[in-house]
Structure 1
Amino acid sequence: MRQIGTPHPRLPLPPAGGEDDMADFLAWLGEAIPMVPALGIREMARDGDSLAWALSLSPSLNDKGTGFGGALTAQTTLLGWCWTTLWLRRQGLARDVVVAEATQRFLAPVTSDYRLTCEPAADDAPAALAERLAQCGKGRIALVQRLWCGDTLCLEARGDYAVLPAS
């Protein structure tokens, strides 16, 4: 059982030049962050610079029978954290990531199972982060998360994620 103030053990880095198995990463995430199994994540996939989750709506229902904004916000924030953490792991870096700033814009009610996507806010953001890490040992990246019910964009979120210096 997780103890307050005690970090969860890190997942070993993938082999040099390799990538994480998404199912293994999601299983580790569920152990590291106790609320993750209750989020309704059915699948996690990476496509180029985009990371996506397929989610069930039922765990995140509000009193109106649609998506609860607080749950959706938590999911967008966590997806950005996952994007940054997985990007670092592909670079061979085991580093701490924290959300520095986040905003959300709710555009339509979430009325069915949905997908969340996350990608850099700018095409050159990953290269800029890599350069900043090499020069300063820390850095930030701006990411955009979008929640889709079918073809309807229901939520757009933006977050800045800070990569902390190595301890």
Structure 2
Amino acid sequence: MTRESRQLESVLHHDIPLTRDMGLKVLDWHDQQLRLQLPLEANVNHKSTMFGGSLYCAAVLVGWGWLHLRLKEEGIEDGHIVIQEGQISYPLPVTSDATAICQAPSAAAWKKFLTMYQRYGRARLTLATRVVNAGSDEYAVLFTGQYVLHR
């Protein structure tokens, strides 16, 4: 685990205590991709699959964490990240531990986001995240969220 990954996990567990109870772990931050792990055991529902609310949290948090880490890389530490809006679908059940993944948006979207923040002190960025069953490439959860950064 990288230093950035350890710091993000610490921030999540301190600032959002629910993440500790969910057993959320930062797997890695590499090539502008963030991966979080969520264990089934701590998030199981009455059907022995992962609870939809836990999956929603993981989908939102991997986007929040991605933005947190990218802003640190850019040297921007004066803003507050919030989720403004999100849409989620659950095409497959999660029957094992889950991996939540967020990759970078387009370079143009990122540049526009940074420019807006620097100019106005507020900017919006849409991030697509997904959740897969551990060891699978099939998307069990698809999430699109609009994140806002403000001073």
Please confirm whether the aligned pair reaches a TM-score higher than 0.5, indicating the same fold.
yes
Find 2:97's aligned residue among 91, 113, 121: 113
Match of 1:152 in 2: 138
| AA aligned opposite 1:40 | G
| AA aligned opposite 2:129 | Q
Paired with 1:49 and 1:87, the residues of 2 have a C-alpha distance of 7
Deviation at 1:98, TM superposition (A): 0.6
Match of 2:24 in 1: 41
Find 2:10's aligned residue among 27, 49, 72: 27
| Aligned residue runs from structure 1 range 10-159, under 5 A | 21-94=4-77, 95-149=79-133, 150-159=136-145
Runs of 4+ in 1 over 3 A off after TM superposition: 120-123
Q: Aligned in 2, Cα 1:32/1:38: closer, same or farther, shift over 3 Å?
A: same
**What is the TM-score with the length of structure 1 in the denominator?**
0.81
Residues 50-86 of structure 1, C-alpha deviations (whole Å, 9 max, x = no match)? 2111221111111000011111101111221111122
Unaligned runs of 5+ in 2: none
**What is the TM-score with the length of structure 2 in the denominator?**
0.88
Deviation at 1:102, TM superposition (A): 0.4
Match of 1:15 in 2: none
Paired with 1:147 and 1:111, the residues of 2 have a C-alpha distance of 12
Paired with 2:37 and 2:57, the residues of 1 have a C-alpha distance of 15
Paired with 1:141 and 1:134, the residues of 2 have a C-alpha distance of 14
Paired with 1:43 and 1:85, the residues of 2 have a C-alpha distance of 13
**Number of residues of Structure 1 aligned to a counterpart in Structure 2:** 147
Residues 108-140 of structure 1, C-alpha deviations (whole Å, 9 max, x = no match)? 010011211012443422212111112222101
- Provide the identity percentage: 25
Paired with 2:32 and 2:62, the residues of 1 have a C-alpha distance of 13
| AA aligned opposite 2:108 | D
The answer as to whether partners of 1:120 and 1:142 remain within 8 angstroms in 2 is no
Paired with 1:57 and 1:73, the residues of 2 have a C-alpha distance of 14
Paired with 2:36 and 2:54, the residues of 1 have a C-alpha distance of 14
Which has a greater percent of helix? 2
The answer as to whether partners of 1:104 and 1:156 remain within 8 angstroms in 2 is yes
Q: Aligned in 2, Cα 1:20/1:129: closer, same or farther, shift over 3 Å?
A: farther
Larger Rg: 1
| AA aligned opposite 2:12 | L
